[in-house]
Amino acid sequence: MIYFASDIHLGAGDKQYARRTEQRFLRWLDMAGKDADTIFLVGDIFDFWFEYGHVVPKGFTRIFGKLAELTDRGVKIVFFTGNHDMWVGDYLPRECGIELYTKPQTFTVAGKTLFVAHGDNMNIKGQPLLRMMNAMFRSKVLRKVASWLIHPDLFMRFGKWWSGKSRKSHSKDTITPESLGFLVDYAREYKKANQDTDYILFGHMHYPYDLKESDLRVLFLDCWDNDEATYAVMDNAGNISLKTF
């Protein structure tokens, strides 16, 4: 079985909220780990993460232990960075055995061709300000300079403020199926150029949705900011569906 989840936003909110989210995600990993061949974590697993050369944010010990336990048992963990945790470096691959990607990727799983992307920084040609911000945030040079000049405590304080502001912009009260249009358009264009693609899967928008359009299938994963979260699962025959945890 292949499992997909995104937008856990570990560390978001106050201590009680953050611990509740962590415990729910751990239960989901336990559930998925019983029969998973691969678990895809499709971005924004952390609400904010900035990895220095020798310093990482404290906390998340149970999550790291569970990921390492799963990979030690032979479960493949594929981790995509999102716009909240784009600064993940080599720590998680080295310590937890995950497979890390910073850009969209195509996989062949269960006999199906699958395009996976977090969903940020896509189809934004007409948004020069957003493009400039994305280029700045993803600049390896600026990241290195920031790690030299800014104390981790200050960066974490800024990051939590920035992440909270960004997360609120994707509230379920404001997102609708129409809000997904820019990614649906991207998926349509991608499918035209890659006809053998069976499924396209996004996170980012905090809105669960399963779009079926002739030979196009696009699935959007949910965030984990309430008592129910939507994830995706693919069986060994290549059938994919959204499930609620």
The residue with greater pLDDT, 6 or 168, is 6
Q: What mean pLDDT do residues 32-56 have?
A: 92
Given the DSSP bridges, would you call strands 199-202 and 216-220 parallel, antiparallel or unpaired?
parallel
Q: List phi, psi (to 5°) of 144.
A: -65, -45
Q: Which residue has the tokens 């911000």?
A: 133
Q: What mean pLDDT do residues 24-52 have?
A: 94
Integer Cα distance of 148 and 137 in angstroms: 16
Report which DSSP code applies to 38: E
Q: List phi, psi (to 5°) of 5.
A: -145, 155
* Percent of residues, the chain, with pLDDT higher than 70: 88
pLDDT in tens, 184-237: 999 999 999 999 999 999 999 999 999 999 889 999 999 987 778 899 999 999
Sign, Cα dihedral of 59, 172, 186, 123: negative
The residue with greater pLDDT, 133 or 55, is 55
Tell which residue, 123, 122, 118, 107, has the closest CA to residue 197. 107
Given the DSSP bridges, would you call strands 216-220 and 38-42 parallel, antiparallel or unpaired?
unpaired
Q: List phi, psi (to 5°) of 199.
A: -135, 145
Query: Residue 224, SS3?
Result: coil
